[in-house]
A = this chain, B = another copy of it.
Amino acid sequence: MDSKDKLRKAGLRPTKQRMIIANILLDGVNRHFTAENLQDEINSSGNSMSIATVYNCLKKFRNCGLIKQIETSNDTAIFDTNTHQHHHFLNEETGELIDIEDDEINLKSLPKIPQGYYSNGVEVLIKLKKQD
């Protein structure tokens, strides 16, 4: 399935700009990135795109479930092409994130979800500090 089909299937009109981004992000390789990271990759692929469009596309991709945004109090939003439930180590000094696969963490006994709500995902974050 090519990028155009992936966009159509996600309900997004396949514009030139979204195709460029889909070609970079939806290659099956898991990556964590910021809007600026992505714009740099777009530039080095010989294309260019306004930062407003990068943000517009990331929001659309996120709302469609093509990517997700990681819950971190970093001052720059970090996105993730791994859309399966999984978790992260966070190096608080550098901001670096490392994936933890879902089966590496055994979450027994989740608390009762408040009345009228349902769980829309569980994220475990393990904050790391350098020894000594």
Instruction: Name A residues whose Cβ lies closer than 8 Å to a Cβ of B.
Output: 69-74, 77-78, 89-92, 98, 100, 104-111, 113-114, 116-131
13 residue pairs of the A-B complex, CB under 8 angstroms, read A69-B73, A71-B71, A73-B73, A73-B77, A92-B120, A108-B108, A116-B131, A117-B130, A118-B129, A119-B127, A120-B127, A122-B125, A123-B124
Whether A109 lies near B104 (C-beta < 8 A) is: yes
Residue in B77, B98, B120, B128 whose beta carbon sits within 8 Å of that of A129 in the complex: B120
Task: Give CA–CA (A114, B116) in the complex, Å.
Answer: 39
Residue numbers in B under 8 Å from A70 (CB-CB) = 73
Binding site of A, secondary structure by majority: helix, strand, loop or mixed?
Answer: strand
B118 touches A126 (CB 8 A): no
Residues of B within 8 A of A74 (CB): 73
- Residues B114 and A89 in contact, CB atoms below 8 Å apart: yes
Kindly list chain B residues whose C-beta atoms are within 8 Å of the C-beta of A124: 107, 122-125
Whether the Cβ atoms of A130 and B116 lie closer than 8 Å is yes
B114 touches A118 (CB 8 A): no
Contact check, A109 vs B110: say whether CB atoms are below 8 A apart: no
